[in-house]
Amino acid sequence: MPEFVGNLLVAQSGGPTAVINASVAGVVQEAAKHDCIREVYGGLNGILGILKEQLIDLKQEDRATIEDLKHTPAAALGTCRYKIDFKKKPGQAALDMDRLFDVFLAHDIRFFFYAGGNDSQDTADKIDKEAVKRGIPLRVIGVPKTIDNDLPHTDHCPGFGSAAKYNACTVMEIEQDVSSMATDEGVCCVIEVMGRSAGWLAAGTVLAQRAPADAPHIILLPEIPFNEGSFLAKVKETVDKLRYCIIVVGEGLKKPDGAEYSANTSRRDAFGHPVLSGAAERLAELVYGKLNTKTRSVKLGYAQRCAAHYASGIDAVEAAACGAAAVRAAAEGKSGFMVKIVRTGSAPYGWTTGLQPIGDIALVEKTVPRDWISADGFMPNEKFIDYCRPLIEGQVNVPVEGGLPKFALLLRKRVPCKLGKRPKAG
Ligand code: F6P
């Protein structure tokens, strides 16, 4: 019997993706192979549920249900955006840390896996450092996840390939519609995609282009400050030539002064980021107002991050592999790392997993390099295309029932609570 033995806890955090559940499946399936892991628990709604001692017993789930997680979108365990904020809420943060370790100790949690983006990796990093400080035997490994693809050190993030694939396909379909309606009066469509401060998702729609005149005709990235004059000139030039113009905008598009084009400054999320919404609508009004061209806006919104029906096969495989790699790393005695994807070749595409100290990842955002974007700033170039194309390859086989997808449904059998209520700062 190994010396370091205990229970495992996995949780999901931040905005969901089409494949984040595949990472949980990877964790659960790999855990069964290691003698050092006894019980396998899931934390409901990320760190927030763990603070409330809301744990479920994943060993009670059918094996087939765990396998079905690989084609089930969003966060089957529930997710949250909750920050343990020592700067702004030191009292609550201290209580939270104590409470987390009370929960870990009460349930003999020795292995903790947190699947999430930048802010969630920061939470994992804090927990790992705190465990070391307190001398508590806990192994913490981050599992990468975000459609935004903005985590540093990893070649790309699970979730991105699937969202990029869906978005590119949707741009192709919208082009079929808009071009078929185009007359000499001209018509435009502005499509808004997510990706708070990085343009990876917007850039990914370039894959929709099969020929030079294909949509998208303009891609507005948060990396390139918006220039109204050159944008309108490019729209007019495209409409004059093709009778229609399809524009893709990343929700985090910036004005020349650095402020977000569509930020609602009065609303912030739990991590303090401004709530972004409405870039496409504003641009559509601008185009109609200045060029008098009929313009519609389309927001791909949540649809792009949960489109399991059109997920990327390679993305789902990599997401599961990241979960499994996290368990292997912890079983080998490692802690304080995030699993990363390492590209070993582009043509043919090859990859493996590696480990990076979580402290290098937490709160750092990776943006699209300037030399992956055309000189006029309106289109990602071949370097980006070579990087992105392999990530959308392959399909996920989603079983169908009555003509619609059949998703996994967890039993969510609760682990009995051992502690009182979560203390709150006064
Ligand atoms: O998870 C990242 C993300 O998808 C961003 O691209 C987007 O800005 C954000 O989530 C929106 O999340 P929500 O509206 O669910 O808070």
pLDDT tens per residue across all 426 residues of the chain: 788 999 999 999 999 999 999 999 999 999 999 999 999 999 999 999 999 999 999 999 999 999 999 999 999 999 999 999 999 999 999 999 999 999 999 999 999 999 999 999 999 999 999 999 999 999 999 999 999 999 999 999 999 999 999 999 999 999 999 999 999 999 999 999 999 889 999 999 999 999 999 999 999 999 999 999 999 999 999 999 999 999 999 999 999 999 999 877 677 777 677 777 799 999 999 999 999 999 999 999 999 999 999 999 999 999 999 999 999 999 999 999 999 999 999 889 999 999 999 999 988 899 999 999 999 999 999 999 999 999 999 999 999 999 999 999 999 999 999 999 998 887
State the distance from the centre of ligand 1 to the C-alpha of 171, rounded, in angstroms: 20
Strands 244-250 and 187-193: parallel
Give me the sign of the Cα torsion angle 378, 383, 387, 389. positive
Number of the ligand 1 atom closest to the C-alpha atom of 146: 1
Say what the pTM is: 0.96
Check residue 317 and give its pLDDT.
98
Cβ distance 238 to 218 under 8 Å?
yes
Residue in 73, 75, 69 with CA at minimum distance from that of residue 14: 75
Residue bearing the CA closest to ligand 1, atom 3: 15
Number of the ligand 1 atom closest to the C-alpha atom of 16: 1
Collapsed DSSP state (helix, strand, coil) of residue 75: coil
CA torsion 386→389→394→400, rounded to 10°?
170
260 lines ligand 1 (CB under 6 A): no
147 lines ligand 1 (CB under 6 A): yes
269 lines ligand 1 (CB under 6 A): yes
Cβ distance 153 to 361 under 8 Å?
yes
Collapsed DSSP state (helix, strand, coil) of residue 206: helix
CA distance 418 to 108: 11
Residue 203, CB half-sphere, CA atoms under 13 Å: how many?
A: 34
CA torsion 132→271→161→9, rounded to 10°?
40
CA distance 143 to 60: 23
Check residue 265 and give its pLDDT.
66
Residue bearing the CA closest to ligand 1, atom 10: 15
15 lines ligand 1 (CB under 6 A): yes
CA distance 286 to 231: 10
Cβ distance 424 to 73 under 8 Å?
no
Structure tokens at 313: 């096969």
Give the mutation target among 147, 150, 261 for probing the ligand 1 site: most ligand atoms within 8 A of CB. 147
Catalytic residue from among 148, 150, 257, 360: 148
Residue in 309, 199, 185 with CA at minimum distance from that of residue 242: 185
Q: Which residue has the tokens 């690989």?
A: 70
CA distance 130 to 99: 12
Number of the ligand 1 atom closest to the C-alpha atom of 252: 8
189 lines ligand 1 (CB under 6 A): no
* 148 counts as catalytic: yes
299 lines ligand 1 (CB under 6 A): no
Helix (H), strand (E) at residue 275: strand 274-276
Contacts of 41 (CB under 8 A, 6+ apart): 7, 8, 9, 10, 55, 56, 57, 58, 107, 109, 415
CA torsion 22→27→29→33, rounded to 10°?
160
